[in-house]
Structure 1
């Protein structure tokens, strides 16, 4: 069974990010992820920065894809952060600012499903046109959800 990330994205998953730095925007996403997952905020923070210090999650084309795995979470929490300010210090692989961040908190009990989830996001979101369309609809979460649903394979 293929895992598609869009089934885990709801209106609550769409977050307008007002931070200007990588730390600020990730902190906004970490707070929302803690609220939605009912996990300890400090745990999410530590795991996120541990992952980020291993290798940047700025994958290019304006997209950041931070992802962590935790125990005892029944289903993935996926957030789509739309930056009001391009994040210049994200250290993306293509040295371009990040404008959309897809943040994943998933269970570490099913590594195969986790890899499928990452693949699903990468296939749908690595297109710069998709990033542009999401940014254009920053104030319209319903449109962002529709864009993601319409990009189903």
Structure 2
């Protein structure tokens, strides 16, 4: 289950049409930037992009977990984008990504950051969860799916 404070309906988008990994990261950055009003989306995009340069955050099975550390927040914050069509993301299985969970964590959150990433990756490895997320057609349904205890 996702911590209730991690994701909220305003940071979820369904059936988004983007044509590239860059545009997907920009969409996530816009949603994540709401966590810190004094931080423009372009700055969040730069952080996500910087992390991508170290290696793709594509997990396979159409899932990506772009993430970054940022100063000025106390708790991790997430955003979710469901794409209408998958985009190339350099995932290990070479499958296009159509579900992306973006994550910002406090600058100093090291072990907590890694644990949260591991929990998210494990959660997204569930084929039933992925299927339910792909079938969802609005943010409230996505939120229910993400917060469901299985």
Task: Report the TM-score when normalising by structure 1.
Answer: 0.87
Partners of 2:35 and 2:73 within 8 A in 1 = no
User: Superposition RMSD on alpha carbons, in Å?
Assistant: 1.6
The residue that corresponds to 2:33 in the other structure is 34
Aligned counterparts of 2:120 and 2:48: Cα–Cα separation in 1: 18
Cα offset, 1:6, TM superposition: 3.4
Cα offset, 1:73, TM superposition: 0.7
- Name structure 2 gaps, 5 residues minimum: none
Task: Report the TM-score when normalising by structure 2.
Answer: 0.89
The residue that corresponds to 1:112 in the other structure is 111
- Name structure 1 gaps, 5 residues minimum: none
Partners of 1:6 and 1:148 within 8 A in 2 = no
- 93-102 or 110-119, larger mean C-alpha shift: 110-119
Partners of 1:61 and 1:127 within 8 A in 2 = no
The residue that corresponds to 2:44 in the other structure is 44
Choose the corresponding residue for 1:9, options 7, 13, 20. 7
Aligned counterparts of 1:35 and 1:107: Cα–Cα separation in 2: 15
The residue that corresponds to 1:25 in the other structure is 24
The residue that corresponds to 1:147 in the other structure is 145
Cα deviation per residue 1:128-151 (whole Å; 9 max; x = unaligned)?
A: 3322210110x2222212212224
Aligned length, in residue pairs:
147
Aligned counterparts of 1:126 and 1:21: Cα–Cα separation in 2: 23
Cα offset, 1:125, TM superposition: 1.0
Counterparts in 2 of 1:62-77, with a 5 A limit? 62-77=62-77
Aligned counterparts of 1:9 and 1:92: Cα–Cα separation in 2: 24
* Runs ≥4 residues deviating over 4 A: none
